[in-house]
Amino acid sequence: MIINAKRYDKNEPSVEFVERKGKGHPDTVCDNLSEKLSVALSNYYIKKTGKILHHNVDKAILVGGQSRAWFGGGEVLEPIYIMLVGRAISRLGDEVVPIGTMALKVVKDELRKTFRYLDPESHVVVDYRIKQGSVDLVGNFNSENEIPLSNDTSFGVGFYPFTDTERLVLEAENYLNSERGKSEFPSVGEDIKVMGFRNEKKVTLTVAAAMISSLLKDSREYLEIKDQVIGKLSELASKVTELDVQIKLNNADNASKGIYYLTVTGTSAESGDDGQVGRGNRANGLITPLRPMTLEATAGKNPISHTGKLYTILSQRIAQKVVEENKKISSASVYMLSQIGKPITDPQSVYVEAVSDMSTEAVKEYSQSIVKEVLEKAPQTWQDILEGRVQLY
């Protein structure tokens, strides 16, 4: 394993783009369904064999339906179509693993948890294509090594801490989809997307929130609630940052043409918007193109040895520990690269960038101890994943 590090003087960029797709966004729905199926499979394998067996159910697609919404009501005309795709051990001796039944149950249970006005029985068609994994990958996974072997050659990245803009985007969506947010604004649906743009000291927060048509009697009420939501988000922003924040909500509305963001179920998936695993939030809950990122999807990958999942989680943990345990370091970014067939505790390379007044050599020496400490616990990370103690999207 090569551990390298470099220090930088603080040089905050003048521009930020930060995005978050809420739990009802079609892409996030796909991430959630794939991950929850992985958890269900893992728990089934543990119950039957005492260990997690090979699987990667990290492909899913959502094809949007068709609907017609109007103030005071609406109807779904064509259901949403969801297909889960992947590889998994499908037989345990003579026993068939009930993957299909499991997939259907996971989808319907999770959709009920996510949405208040979407009926999984009538608004959604569920399908799956999950087959046995390739001989080489299953063999690599099932090796008798004490430390699991990397299931792929891939990399993970992490950074810490969040900027004000990043925290604002995350907290805005979290609030609108929280119990409190839904209590205060029940007509705001679950499909919420927040885009933050900072230019120097000014932030523009553009929020798209699918509104529940049956809970709004007319355009006047719709516009009143929009103003109230903007006021609440402005109040939240004042607690998060001293930057100048401007908030725009459902900016494509056009009252003169009768165009409003109305939905029957609370998600744009009901009327043509599609979704796919890996197109949404990174494991830290955000999409940050001006920060270190990986295109690797974390959702649905096996939690034992798929480094596309594990190294993203571990990189984030390293970055956080590097900063929180040393007052001379104000921020850190971590890049970690695996090699298929090597122990997950022995990546090809770990690279740490730190903003600090310490020397590069001092940063490297300090980072090495943190990296080794976190990697030692890598084989136990699956427990945090199965118990929902880590954010993946």
- Which has the higher per-residue pLDDT, 73 or 133? 73
Predicted pLDDT of residue 69: 98
CATH architecture of 21-138: 2-Layer Sandwich (3.30)
Where residue 139 falls among pLDDT bands split at 50, 70, 90? Answer: low
Kindly indicate whether the domain formed by 164-274 is annotated with CATH number 3.30.300.340.
yes
pLDDT of 261 > 90? The answer is yes
Where residue 11 falls among pLDDT bands split at 50, 70, 90? Answer: low
Interval 125-154 mean pLDDT: 81
Determine how many CB atoms are found less than 10 A away from the CB of residue 170: 21
| Per-residue tokens: 137 | 């990958």
Render pLDDT for 18-30 as a digit per residue (tens, 0 to 9).
999 999 999 999 9
Stated pTM of the model: 0.94
The one-letter amino acid at 187: S
Residues 151/311, Cβ–Cβ less than 8 Å: no
- Collapsing DSSP to helix, strand or coil, 3 comes out as strand
The CATH topology of domain 2-11+153-162+279-386 is GMP Synthetase; Chain A, domain 3 (3.30.300)
Where residue 340 falls among pLDDT bands split at 50, 70, 90? Answer: very high
Predicted pLDDT of residue 132: 85
**Topology alike, domains 21-138 and 164-274:** yes
Question: Residue ranges per domain, the chain?
Answer: 2-11+153-162+279-386, 21-138, 164-274
Report DSSP letters for 189-247, one per residue: EEEEEEEEEEETTEEEEEEEEEEEGGG--SHHHHHHHHHHHHHHHHHHHHHH-SSEEEE
Predicted pLDDT of residue 1: 77
pLDDT of 136 > 60? The answer is no
